Amino acid sequence: MQFKPAVTALVSAVALATLLSGCKKEEAAPVAKPPQVGVVTLQPQAYTLTSELPGRTTAFRIAEVRPQVNGIILKRLFKEGGEVKAGQQLYQIDPSIYESTLASAQANLQSTKSLSDRYKQLVAEQAVSRQEYDDAQAKRLQAEATLKSAQIDLRYTKVLAPISGRIGRSAVTEGALVSNGQTDAMAVIQQLDPIYVDVTQSSAELLKLRRELESGQLQKAGANAAKVTLKLEDGSPYVHEGTLEFSEVSVDETTGSVTLRAVFPNPDHNLLPGMFVHARLNAGVHSSAILAPQQGVTRDLKGLPTALVVNQENKVELRQLKASRTVGSQWLIEDGLNPGDRLITEGLQFVKPGVEVKVTEATNVKPATPGVPANASAAAGAKGK
């Protein structure tokens, strides 16, 4: 009974030590701070939707020069590769036979005319029958037609340029025999100013564009809707602006594309038929487009575009996106992001959905000028569903 107070004191001391030890451990555990991320607040802006399409140049007019009479070529009267004017003489075919035929036709007409005039007086005096006069009159008309045909054939010995333009190499030389109706052209003239540019666009993109215009998602680009700019094969811009003329009325079954034709001024003849070019068309205007910096758009395991945003509670949310195309260093977002969303572009590697974060303005994104977005790329981006 004498040892009970000592035991009680010992137990109290042990309990007190244990309590103090637990308090020290609790004080030693630090509180985790929320990770810091840089965000960009998305704002809607007007954006002109453009399409960059591949195409080739085509001459505005093409004329194949062929003879309309038979004969030997005496002269070639143009410089190969030079400019010719409509009506300019290109070749001279030997006119000897046709001059002789013309002289014979003139003599025949003179004879039949004299006979017809004489019979006209005699029929009035009833010295010849009316039938004889009618026959003489018919022969006169036939002689006039023969003379006219002879004059045309003689005129065709001078081969004239049907259009103005640049003429290619000559397929015949002096001394060559040519004939009316031959299949081979003597030369080809191409009008290069203005010049056509034929581009192709997929029928699916054309249908989508029409639906967006009809639904009001896109507004017409106004007076500039038919304007087209051009980029040459070496990547340099073409100085003159063209206009869209028409679109083909049928779809190519092998490629599923529609041909669009634009016409461009070509005063310096920098564009030649057959050149490969890229045409940029103004398709319409997004009045409230969402452009997201590429730093804030990633892809999941399926390859679909995603983004992390900070909600009203400063917590991270995962969004599935539908991004149609690139606009400089940004993506044009069709679905998944809204005006006012805070898109994370910095610190993505330190956060995941549901985590509370500390928000600051992003420093890795160059601020865009409102309403002046960069031009769109022709390549379509990945689309999340």
Mean pLDDT to the nearest integer, 313-332: 86
Mean pLDDT value of segment 180-187: 92
Flag whether pLDDT at 346 surpasses 60. Answer: yes
Domain residue limits at 74 = 67-94+157-184
368 and 254 housed in the same domain? yes
Q: What is the mean pLDDT of residues 33-58?
A: 86
Same domain as 149, residue 162: no
- pLDDT for the residue 252: 74
Please check whether residues 332 and 197 belong to one and the same domain: yes
Q: What global pTM score does this model have?
A: 0.64
C-alpha angle with apex 33: 43 to 320, nearest 5 degrees? 35
Most confident of 127-131, 136-140, 326-330, 364-368: 136-140
Query: Distance between CA atoms of 354 and 308, rounded to whole angstroms?
Result: 10
CATH number at 166 reads: 2.40.50.100
285 lies in some domain:
yes
Instruction: Round to whole Å and give the CA distance between 14 and 11.
Output: 5
4 by DSSP, 3-state: which? Answer: helix
265 and 201 inside one domain? yes
Residue 32 lies in a domain: no
196 with 140, same domain: the answer is: no
Mean pLDDT value of segment 8-12: 49
Cα 144 to Cα 76: distance, rounded to the nearest angstrom = 32
Count other Cβ atoms within 10 Å, centred on residue 309.
22
Q: What mean pLDDT is predicted for residues 346-357?
A: 88
Same-domain check for residues 229 and 323: yes
Total count of domains within the chain: 3
Q: Are residues 139 and 228 in the same domain?
A: no
Instruction: Report the range of poorest mean pLDDT among 1-5, 159-163, 170-174, 328-332.
Output: 1-5
Domain-embedded: residue 29: no
* Whether 283 and 211 share a structural domain: yes
**Cα separation of 251 and 257, whole Å?**
6
User: Could you tell me if 250 and 273 lie in one domain?
Assistant: yes
Which residues make Cβ contacts (< 8 Å) with residue 4, sequence separation at least 6?
A: none
